[in-house]
C-alpha cells in the first residue's frame, strides 16, 4: 500500500474543515463512543458491564437521554445527565413523500442542520446519511455543493442519523445504509471511520458492514484506508465521466487525482476486500451521455469488473445541467452493456420532496426557523421532551 501519508497526497479540499471542539471534561456524545471510552467517562466506581448497558440504551433501546435509561442507578442518571449525551441532535422536521420516502431534517447542537433520507424498497428501508454540513467538492450538478463546506459532522452526529431512523421505523434499524447524503465522506475520514465502526459493532447499532455503502468522489489513499479497516463495507465511486478533462469539469477535485489513479485504488480495494466496486454515473444531457462516451467508459472500467449505477440527473434549480431524456439513458445503458459492463439505471425516489440524489440543500441559513420550527433549535439532550 505504499505507506504514503494521505495528508500529504490529498488535495486541500479534503481538509475536514472546522470541527466542533470536544475539550477535555466536556460532555461525551455517546453515539460516537466505544465501550472503552464510555467506561472511562463513567469512572472506576461503576461495574464493568455499565458501559455496554448504556450503549445498548443508546443504540438499541431508543434512549434520548440518560434519564431514559431506567435500569441505571438513579444517582448516576441524575448526576451525569449533563455530560453523557445519548443524543446531540434532534429532528427539526420530517417530510414524507408520496412514494413513502421520508426526509428528516436533523438539527445539530450548534444550530446547523443536515438531511437524512429513509427510502423504502418493498418492505426494506435504506437510510441515506450525511457526513458534512454542505460540501467542499463543488460538483457542478449537485445542490449540496452550492452551499460550500460549513463543517464536518462528528461521528456521533453521523451515527445519530441512524438512531433517528430507528425511531421512525419503530425501533428497527434500516436494512441498508448509504453515505450518499450531504458531504464527501472521505473528506471527513476520522469521523467516518469511527461512525462505521460504531454502526457496525454488536455493542453499537449492529448494521452489517455489507449493508453499508460509502459513496465518494474518490481519494485514492483514503480508499486504501477504507480497504484496510477490516470492515466489509461497499465502495461506490462517483465517476461521471470517461476522461479526465470532462471529469474535472464536473468534479473539480479530480484535477489533483485523475481517473487512472482512482481506478487503481478501486482495483486495490476490490482485491483487498473481495467487494465489488460500484461506479456511479450521473447522466447529464449532452454532456456525458453519448453512446461513444459509454464505449469509452466501458474501455476504462471493464477490467475492474465494477457495477455501474446510472443515475438520471435530478433537477437542481439554478444549476446549468439538465437530465438526459429517457431514450438517451436507455441507449447509454445498451452501449455500456454491449461493451461488457454490467449496469443498471437507478430509480428516482423522493424527488417530490427534494430528497433525491444531489437535491439535499438547506433552504435557510442556520438560526433561521425551518418548516415552522420556531426559535431555539438547540436540542436539549437531558430533557425528556
Active site residues: 115, 357
Among 215, 234, 273, 278, interactor with ligand SAH by CB under 6 A: 215
Among 126, 216, 254, 324, interactor with ligand SAH by CB under 6 A: 216
Cα 315 to Cα 44, 81, 149, 349, 357: the distances in Å are 55, 45, 21, 13, 10
**H helices of the chain, where?**
6-9, 35-42, 50-59, 74-80, 155-168, 189-200, 220-227, 244-250, 259-273, 291-301, 326-338
The Cα 291–Cα 329 span in angstroms is: 10
Site for ligand SAH, residues 232 to 261, rule: CB under 6 A: 238
Site for ligand SAH contains 357 (CB under 6 A): yes
Number of alpha carbons in the 13 Å side-chain half-sphere of residue 204: 24
**Kind and range of the H or E element at 3?**
none
Among 112, 115, 157, 184, interactor with ligand SAH by CB under 6 A: 184
Site for ligand SAH contains 76 (CB under 6 A): no
Q: Of 63 and 304, which CB lies nearer to ligand SAH in the complex structure?
A: 304
Among 280, 301, 354, 382, interactor with ligand SAH by CB under 6 A: 280
Other C-beta atoms closer than 10 Å to the C-beta of 70 total: 10
Question: Residue 36: CB partners within 8 Å, gap ≥ 6?
Answer: 51
Q: Are strands 132-134 and 149-152 parallel, antiparallel or unpaired?
A: antiparallel
Site for ligand SAH contains 212 (CB under 6 A): no
Q: Of 109 and 142, which CB lies nearer to ligand SAH in the complex structure?
A: 142
Site for ligand SAH contains 217 (CB under 6 A): yes
Q: Of 137 and 207, which CB lies nearer to ligand SAH in the complex structure?
A: 137
Of 1, 64, 5, give the one whose Cα is nearest residue 30: 64
Tell me, residue by residue from 294 to 333, as one string, x for binding to ligand SAH by CB under 6 A and - for no binding: -----------------x-xx-x-----------------
| Nearest residue relative to ligand SAH (C-beta) | 358
Interacting span for ligand SAH (CB under 6 A) from 26-34, 135-143, 154-162, 377-385: 135-143
Q: Of 29 and 136, which CB lies nearer to ligand SAH in the complex structure?
A: 136
Interacting span for ligand SAH (CB under 6 A) from 3-11, 97-105, 134-142, 367-375: 134-142
Question: Residue 79: CB partners within 8 Å, gap ≥ 6?
Answer: none
Q: Of 85 and 265, which CB lies nearer to ligand SAH in the complex structure?
A: 265
Give the 3-state secondary structure of residue 46.
Answer: coil
Among 66, 72, 92, 142, interactor with ligand SAH by CB under 6 A: 142
Site for ligand SAH contains 16 (CB under 6 A): no
Among 91, 109, 116, 139, interactor with ligand SAH by CB under 6 A: 139
Q: Of 114 and 156, which CB lies nearer to ligand SAH in the complex structure?
A: 114
Beta bridge partners of 95: 103
Q: Of 46 and 280, which CB lies nearer to ligand SAH in the complex structure?
A: 280
Site for ligand SAH contains 141 (CB under 6 A): yes
Interacting span for ligand SAH (CB under 6 A) from 9-17, 33-41, 113-121, 212-220: 212-220
Site for ligand SAH contains 10 (CB under 6 A): no
Do the Cβ atoms of 259 and 244 come closer than 8 Å?
A: yes
Apex 334 CA angle, 329 and 336, nearest 5: 95
Of 220, 224, 91, give the one whose Cα is nearest residue 165: 91
For cell 473528506, name the residue: 187
Apex 210 CA angle, 96 and 347, nearest 5: 40
Do the Cβ atoms of 197 and 231 come closer than 8 Å?
A: yes
Q: Terminal CA-to-CA distance of the chain, rounded, Å?
A: 50
Site for ligand SAH contains 223 (CB under 6 A): no
Binding site for ligand SAH (CB under 6 A): 137, 139, 141-142, 180, 184, 215-217, 238, 280, 282, 311, 313-314, 316, 357-358
Amino acid at each position: 500500500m505504499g505507506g504514503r501519508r494521505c495528508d500529504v497526497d490529498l488535495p486541500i479540499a479534503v481538509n475536514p474543515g472546522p470541527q466542533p471542539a470536544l475539550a477535555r471534561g466536556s460532555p461525551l456524545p455517546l453515539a460516537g463512543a466505544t465501550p472503552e471510552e464510555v467506561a472511562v467517562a463513567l469512572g472506576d466506581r461503576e461495574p464493568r458491564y455499565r458501559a455496554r448497558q448504556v450503549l445498548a440504551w443508546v443504540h438499541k433501546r431508543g434512549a434520548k437521554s440518560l434519564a431514559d435509561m431506567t435500569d441505571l442507578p438513579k444517582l448516576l442518571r441524575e448526576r451525569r445527565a449533563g455530560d453523557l449525551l445519548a443524543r446531540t441532535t434532534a429532528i427539526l422536521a420530517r417530510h414524507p413523500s408520496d412514494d413513502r420516502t421520508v426526509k428528516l431534517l436533523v438539527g445539530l447542537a450548534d444550530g446547523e442542520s443536515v438531511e437524512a433520507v429513509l427510502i423504502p424498497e418493498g418492505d426494506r428501508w435504506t437510510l441515506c446519511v450525511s457526513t458534512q454540513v454542505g460540501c467542499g467538492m463543488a460538483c457542478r450538478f449537485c445542490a449540496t455543493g452550492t452551499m460550500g463546506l460549513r463543517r464536518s459532522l462528528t461521528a456521533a452526529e453521523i451515527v445519530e442519523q441512524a438512531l433517528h431512523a430507528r425511531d421512525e421505523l419503530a425501533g428497527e434499524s434500516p436494512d441498508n445504509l448509504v453515505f450518499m447524503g450531504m458531504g464527501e465522506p472521505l473528506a471527513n475520514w476520522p469521523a467516518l471511520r469511527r461512525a462505521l465502526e460504531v454502526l457496525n459493532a454488536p455493542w453499537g447499532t449492529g448494521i452489517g458492514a455489507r449493508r453499508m455503502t460509502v459513496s465518494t468522489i474518490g481519494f485514492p489513499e483514503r480508499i486504501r484506508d477504507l480497504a484496510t479497516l477490516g470492515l466489509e463495507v461497499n465502495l461506490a465511486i462517483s465517476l461521471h465521466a470517461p476522461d479526465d478533462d470532462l471529469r474535472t469539469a464536473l468534479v473539480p477535485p479530480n484535477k489533483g487525482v485523475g481517473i487512472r489513479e482512482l481506478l487503481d485504488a478501486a482495483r486495490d480495494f476490490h482485491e483487498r476486500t473481495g467487494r465489488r466496486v460500484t461506479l456511479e454515473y450521473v447522466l447529464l444531457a449532452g454532456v456525458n451521455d453519448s453512446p461513444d462516451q459509454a464505449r469509452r467508459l466501458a474501455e476504462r472500467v471493464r477490467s475492474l469488473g465494477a457495477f455501474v449505477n446510472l443515475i438520471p440527473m435530478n433537477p437542481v434549480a439554478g444549476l446549468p445541467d439538465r437530465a438526459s431524456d429517457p431514450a438517451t439513458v436507455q441507449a447509454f445503458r445498451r452501449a455500456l452493456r454491449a461493451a461488457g459492463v454490467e449496469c443498471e439505471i437507478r430509480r428516482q425516489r423522493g424527488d417530490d420532496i427534494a430528497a433525491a440524489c444531489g437535491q439535499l440543500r438547506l433552504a435557510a441559513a442556520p438560526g433561521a426557523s425551518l418548516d415552522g420550527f420556531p426559535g431555539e433549535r438547540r436540542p436539549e439532550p437531558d430533557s425528556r421532551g
